[in-house]
Amino acid sequence: MNPFDPLQEALRVLCTEAEVLPATGQAVEDMVTPDLEEIYDRRAGGAATVEGVWERPNRRLYRTVRPIYRDEAHRLRYFVDGSAKTYFIGTVLEHDRSSPVQLSQVGAAMVYREDNGRIRLATDGLERTILLTLEKNQLSDELWTALESAVAGLRGFELCDSATNNDYADAMALRESRPRGAHRANWYMRTLEIALAQSTLRGPEDWLVLDGSLGNEFEDWHGGPLIGVAKTFRRDSRFELGSGPRSRTYNLYSLLKDLDENQRTAVFARKRKDGSNEGKILFWYVRIRPQRGLDYPLMGVVKVEIPNPGQEPIDSGQVDEISGWLVAERSVTPYGRDHRWHAHLYPIHIAERVIRGHFYSEIVLKAGVRWPFQVS
């Protein structure tokens, strides 16, 4: 059975209502650059400059933590990650306008870790969609309406406009059509991750780890305990600490170069560029792997974010505890499987493998998506 058969009517609409130039080789994967986590951190992170320390009673810039393993305290139970793969399958021509036609497999998975360490898919922990993506502003209203009718009611399929609601591409000021389509799929992936995090019912001591930074939608979070963990993050951050003659200013590199293994930084507060909502998201950095043997000083460091709707400084003991849980997660690593292995949390890696395991292979896609050249 061809899993892409439901899309044949939409492809037929494109061929009958406009001219289509199929991609050579039927499908070509479109990649996104630079790293998506860094793009999202820039978008969600607000102002680049932060001021002061947002924890009590610790006031030191660096603080050593001890690993807290699962047999002592098993708090990190749920882990969410997503994946998106986008393929360019052709170009549609309509009068003097054109749009790339792209097909994306997008999904997110939540896994649950049991007391014995076994990791399984959480209940209702899988979301997957196939997107047919074009630039709506490059098509006539008649053609777009016909496409909507062809895709409407297809379970697991969705028509997507790459020109709008595309936060990743907008954050980079991207104008090229195909990169915008790939970034649109990744933004859709992020919305699936957030939906999973928001819909899960958990116990009061069961923490959820979301891959990447926390968006503004978590500023007034009142759900279960949750942190976002970013393997890569914005590099333009500045930290203004203290006042008077003893004040110090750090950029990200000067802050992290002296961060040793099993250490965390002090806690800082995110604020929006207009200065509002300061303290609703708090963040700090943890070195989970030593610098020796790594290619770059920022490798082995993760950025941790936590909702703080009350906008009060966080207890230093809680930050030490969370950091200790994360340091203990470094024990198993997907070395060689991912260039970000040095900052990976293994359960997050498993969640990504779960969703990728539910994607159709490129061979299946190329065999299943064929333009209906013979139009009756």
Nearby residues of 291 by Cβ (< 8 Å), 6 or more positions away: 261, 297, 299, 300
| Alpha carbons 97 and 138: distance in angstroms, whole number | 6
Nearby residues of 225 by Cβ (< 8 Å), 6 or more positions away: 75, 202, 204, 205, 206, 207, 208
- The pLDDT assigned to 33 comes to 55
- The pLDDT assigned to 374 comes to 47
Number of other residues whose CB lies within 10 A of the CB of residue 245: 5
- The pLDDT assigned to 375 comes to 45
Cβ atoms of 282 and 267 within 8 Å: the answer is: yes
Each residue's pLDDT tens digit, 220-270: 998 889 999 998 888 888 999 987 778 899 999 899 988 999 999 999 999
Q: Which residue has the tokens 């060689």?
A: 336
The reply to whether 82 falls in a domain is yes
Compute the C-alpha angle 254/241/271, nearest 5°: 95
Residue 50: closest CA among 236, 245, 312 = 236
- The pLDDT assigned to 337 comes to 55
Q: If you write DSSP's letter for every residue of 77-144 in order, what string do you get?
A: EEEEEEEEEEEEEEEEEETTEEEEEEEEEEEEEEEEE-TTS-EEEEEEEEEEEEEEEE-GGGS-HHHH
Domain range for 331 = 5-368
Number of domains into which the chain is organized: 1
The reply to whether 75 falls in a domain is yes
The reply to whether 373 falls in a domain is no
| Alpha carbons 238 and 248: distance in angstroms, whole number | 11
pTM: 0.88
Low-confidence ranges of the chain (pLDDT < 70): 24-26, 31-37, 40, 44-45, 166-174, 293-297, 331-344, 372-376
The reply to whether 301 falls in a domain is yes
In this structure, the chain runs to a length of: 376
Q: Which residue has the tokens 């933004």?
A: 187
The reply to whether 14 falls in a domain is yes
Residue 238: closest CA among 216, 218, 254, 217 = 254
The reply to whether 169 falls in a domain is yes
Q: What percent of the chain has pLDDT over 70?
A: 87
- The pLDDT assigned to 112 comes to 95
| Alpha carbons 78 and 109: distance in angstroms, whole number | 10
The reply to whether 298 falls in a domain is yes
Q: If you write DSSP's letter for every residue of 218-278 in order, what string do you get?
A: GTT--SS-EEEEESS--S--EEEE--GGG-EEEEHHHHHTT--TTEEE--EE---TTS-ST
| Alpha carbons 140 and 135: distance in angstroms, whole number | 10
Cβ atoms of 130 and 159 within 8 Å: the answer is: no
Q: Six-digit token pair at 171?
A: 């954050």
